[in-house]
């Protein structure tokens, strides 16, 4: 009889236990990468806690020069539920353009070594000479596109912390037009979106000085740092995933 009572008690507790709240994440990588660059992060995210959408290269590989607004619109179409946007590098410009396209779908934004252009600014307006010089060493500027150099040169110049054993992501050329279009959104709506920033503290491409300017101007009060260069999803995916989980749950 005692064992039966215990069994019924446990069953009752199980039935009243609240389901785990799922968090929706939308991952957007920066220029020259595809969605597979998030593989090491995605496999560390608990599927019982997180639903993950990866934007991949929506709108970046069309035959015509890429449009930031088109990329934002196509990215917004990939998910329905209010989600936290995880934006790496140029993905920050995409996320901010999405804030003007589908703000009702954005629960929050987590920027990772990201560009954070304000309303009326072009994506690369705040990049300084040091950032531009470091980037210029790892790419070649063509007439219409920016072409990354071979993988070893590219990644070693962008992130000195990447282990020699790491699997390097695929690289892609990008349209020069990605930097020529202004970001537009309602500043009041944007200011109401919860935000966090993950600083990459050894980043030669978007240096700390530039990253600090972005957070200061955007009023971002929530932040963490990670001891990597520009590609923490490659150089330290474990730590990066921990920080994404932390701020996604906070938002």
- For 147, list phi and psi in degrees, rounded to 5: -110, 120
- DSSP H or E run through 161: none
Task: Give the Cα separation of 220 and 74 in Å (integer).
Answer: 26
> Which residue ranges form the domains of the chain, and what is each CATH number?
24-250 (3.40.50.1820)
Q: How confident is the model at residue 11 (pLDDT cuts 50, 70, 90)?
A: very low
pLDDT in tens, 57-103: 999 999 999 999 999 999 999 999 999 999 999 999 999 999 999 99
* Distance, C-alpha 245 to centroid of its chain: 13
Q: What is the pLDDT of residue 251?
A: 77
Q: What is the pLDDT of residue 9?
A: 43
Q: Is 121 exposed, middle or buried (0-12, 13-18, 19+ CB in 10 A)?
A: middle
Task: Give the Cα separation of 161 and 209 in Å (integer).
Answer: 19
Q: What is the pLDDT of residue 87?
A: 98
pLDDT in tens, 115-174: 999 999 999 999 999 999 999 999 999 999 999 999 999 999 999 999 999 999 999 999
The answer to whether residue 16 scores a pLDDT higher than 70 is no
Q: What is the pLDDT of residue 20?
A: 57
Task: Give the Cα separation of 115 and 119 in Å (integer).
Answer: 13
Task: Give the Cα separation of 81 and 206 in Å (integer).
Answer: 31
Mean pLDDT of all residues belonging to the chain: 93
* Distance, C-alpha 32 to centroid of its chain: 14
**Furthest-apart CA pair in the chain: how many Å?**
83
Structure token pair of residue 230: 């520009």
């Amino acid at each position: 009889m005692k064992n039966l009572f215990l069994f019924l008690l446990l069953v009752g507790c199980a039935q009243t236990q609240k389901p785990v709240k799922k968090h929706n994440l939308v991952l957007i990588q920066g220029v020259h990468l595809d969605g597979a660059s998030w593989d090491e992060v995605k496999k560390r995210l608990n599927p019982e806690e997180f639903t993950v959408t990866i934007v991949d290269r929506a709108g970046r590989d069309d035959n015509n020069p890429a449009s930031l607004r088109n990329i934002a619109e196509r990215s917004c179409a990939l998910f329905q539920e209010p989600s936290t946007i995880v934006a790496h590098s140029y993905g920050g410009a995409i996320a901010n353009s999405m804030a003007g396209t589908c703000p009702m779908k954005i629960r929050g934004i987590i920027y990772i070594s990201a560009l954070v252009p304000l309303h009326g600014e072009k994506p690369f307006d705040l990049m300084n000479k040091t950032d531009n010089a470091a980037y210029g060493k790892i790419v070649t500027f063509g007439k219409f596109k920016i072409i990354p150099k071979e993988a070893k040169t590219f990644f070693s110049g962008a992130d000195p912390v990447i282990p020699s054993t790491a699997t390097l992501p695929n690289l892609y050329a990008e349209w020069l037009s990605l930097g020529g279009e202004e970001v537009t959104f309602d500043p009041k709506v944007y200011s109401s979106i919860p935000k966090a920033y993950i600083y990459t503290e050894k980043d030669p491409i978007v240096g700390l000085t530039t990253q600090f300017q972005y957070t200061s101007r955007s009023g971002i009060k929530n932040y963490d740092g990670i001891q990597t260069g520009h590609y923490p999803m490659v150089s330290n995916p474990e730590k990066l995933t921990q920080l994404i989980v932390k701020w996604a749950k906070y938002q």
